[in-house]
Amino acid sequence: MLLDGHMKVDGHEGVKSRCWEWNYRGPVLLYNSLRTAKPAVKAYDYTNSSENHKVIVGVGELVEVRGFTVDEAAQMLANFNNISLDKIKIALRNIKRKMPSYRPEEIIYNFFQFGPYIAPFRTGFFFKNLRRFDKPVSFNWPAGPIKPIFTQVVPGSELGKQLKRAGF
């Protein structure tokens, strides 16, 4: 979704939502994980095939990591679910009427409770210079929870060739 241009917020080329912060800034390899959120696959009519997993699909430059504003979080909610921002704003107003004690951000970050939706995490990873590789590159996938994964780029390797073609 990030490399297809579905995750834009304001002037940022692409944004990922995370529940943790990271001090690193610079090039980041982008990979398809083992799990894919089924509502996102359905919302964008993606094919969910096992051969599309555990591969590095592109690269981007991480330029900023910070909490979302309420407007940015609402845009990410629209992005994740392939719903217009206007429809999201209407839904937020309707939910607020039914539950007046809820703050807008509480509704946004818990939107999955209102149907088959995906809600963003509170931290945004803001990218520029996003590039999809010509051909996905498989890599040794470490076990464990989602976290930064570091890999060595060997000159002449398939990963090295793809990064060079992408201008990194």
Q: What is the residue extent of each domain of the chain?
A: 14-165
pTM: 0.88
Burial of 45 (0-12, 13-18, 19+ CB in 10 A): exposed
Diameter of the chain by CA atoms? 59
Q: What is the number of H-type helices and E-type strands within the chain?
A: 5, 4
**Mean pLDDT, rounded, of the chain:** 89
Phi/psi for 116 (5° steps) reads -85, 60
Element (H, E) at 8: none
Cα separation, 34 vs 1, whole angstroms: 15
Q: Which residue has the tokens 């799990």?
A: 35
Chain segment 99-135, per-residue pLDDT in tens = 999 898 999 999 988 878 899 999 999 999 999 999 9
Residue 34 structure tokens: 């083992």
Burial of 13 (0-12, 13-18, 19+ CB in 10 A): middle
Q: Is residue 70 pLDDT above 70, yes or no?
A: yes
